[in-house]
Amino acid sequence: MAKTLMIVDDSATMRKIIMRTVRMSGLEFDTIEEAGNGVEALEKLNASPVDIVLCDINMPEMTGPEMVKKAREMSSCDNTKIVMVSTESAQETIDGVMADGANGFITKPFTPENFQEKLMPFMN
Amino acid sequence: MIEQICFNDVFTDSAKEIFETMIFMDLMQADDPNQQIEGDAVLGSITFKGDLEGCLAFCCGKDCAQTITMNMLGIDSVDEISDEDTCDAIGEVCNMIMGCVKRRLHDTYSNIELSIPLVVNGRQLKNTLGEGAQEVMEKVIIEDEYPTELSLLYREKSN
Ligand SMILES: [Mg+2]
């Protein structure tokens, strides 16, 4: 079963880089959606949920951690895995967002192998 | 109080790491300390607050900014990118470099909060931060071709 993915990042450049890196990782997705901040992502997830969300932390309008909390209150996201992708790497930040309902964390700079390793468990 | 020399290393190493791993371009300390950016320039900056407050800026020529953007997007022709793309890319460069700086300073300054990056176009652009700020200024060269300035202005949180 092919999976669906959403990339949430305020930088369009970073969304492209993530998309390219995901492709290079060999993981295959049916569709890849994009959103520029947490608010836009939640609207899209509410209308049509995806299997995996890759989510930035530092974004205007609504940050990644705020988005995770809100998504975890939405029944449409019950089965959605949320993996944070950020230059943030302080253990407190990672622990905090994982406690709020994120399912993984990838730090920038990243490699295709990082995506392979962190997303593979959610592909089945 | 951390020695200035330490900040220089943290800053340059962070920029090198990002350019090597995410942009696939070579960034080195400039041989000529008086190198200047000629013509149109792009300056990206990101501010931070918390245990340490200040502003990080990355300034390069427009041609360099376009090359960085093309590399990040995996595009071959400059005609395919807009000024908006370039601003977005340079903003993200600042965000990533500052993220690396933050990671490297974490043991000393555990609480540093980053802003959303800001990018401007112009000539002879300069990063400033009022009184009492320390400045680390690094002149670097990208791909042996583009003179670039990295500046980090900071002060410790005053209690
Ligand atoms: Mg961001």
| Termini Cα distance of chain B | 14
Q: Domain B4-156: give its CATH superfamily.
A: CheC-like (3.40.1550.10)
Percent of chain A scoring above 90 in pLDDT: 88
**Among B147, B129, B86, which residue's Cα sits nearest to residue A11?**
B86
For testing contact with chain A, the best of B47, B95, B110 (most A CBs within 10 A):
B95
| pTM of the model as a whole | 0.90
The pLDDT value given to residue B158: 67
Tens of pLDDT, residue by residue over A72-108, are: 999 999 999 999 999 888 888 899 999 999 999 999 9
CB contact under 8 A, B73 and A89: no
Contact A6, A45 (CB under 8 A): yes
Per-residue pLDDT band for B1 (boundaries 50, 70, 90) equals low
Peptide bond into A65 cis (omega under 30): no
Q: What order do you get walking across the sheet with A104-107 strand by strand? A: A29-35, A3-8, A52-55, A81-86, A104-107
Domain ranges of chain B: 4-156
Is B80 exposed, middle or buried, given 0-12, 13-18 or 19+ CB atoms closer than 10 A? exposed
Structural domains in chain A? 4-122 (3.40.50.2300)
Given the structure tokens 């949180």, which residue do they identify? B157
Between these two residues, A2 and A52, which has the higher pLDDT value? A52
Average pLDDT over residues B63-75: 95
Q: What's the distance, CA B132 to chain centroid?
A: 21
What value of ipTM does the predicted structure carry?
Answer: 0.88
pLDDT exceeds cutoff 50 at B5: no
For testing contact with chain A, the best of B19, B23, B92 (most A CBs within 10 A):
B92
Average model confidence (pLDDT) across chain A = 94
Average pLDDT over residues A24-47: 95
Average pLDDT over residues B145-159: 87
Give the separation between CA A52 and CA B104, rounded to whole angstroms: 30
Kindly report the nearest CA distance between residue B109 and chain A, in angstroms.
Answer: 11
Distance from the alpha carbon of residue B32 to the mean position of ligand 1, in angstroms? 34
The pLDDT value given to residue B7: 85
Distance from the alpha carbon of residue A67 to the mean position of ligand 1, in angstroms? 13
The pLDDT value given to residue B40: 93
pLDDT exceeds cutoff 50 at A30: yes
Backbone region of residue B143 per phi and psi (left: phi > 0; alpha: psi in -120 to 50; beta: other values): left
Kindly report the nearest CA distance between residue A111 and chain B, in angstroms.
Answer: 8
β-pairing, A52-55 vs A3-8, is parallel
β-pairing, B118-122 vs A52-55, is unpaired
pLDDT exceeds cutoff 70 at B159: no
Per-residue pLDDT band for B2 (boundaries 50, 70, 90) equals very low
Tens of pLDDT, residue by residue over B24-52, are: 999 999 998 889 998 999 999 999 999 99
Per-residue pLDDT band for B133 (boundaries 50, 70, 90) equals confident
Average pLDDT over residues A23-45: 95
Which B positions 86-115 lie with beta carbon below 8 A of chain A? 88-89, 91-92, 95-96, 98-100, 102-103, 106, 110, 114
Q: What are phi and psi of B65, to 5 degrees?
A: -60, -40
Average model confidence (pLDDT) across chain B = 89
Q: How far is CA B109 from CA A88, B8, B100, B106, in A?
A: 14, 16, 13, 5
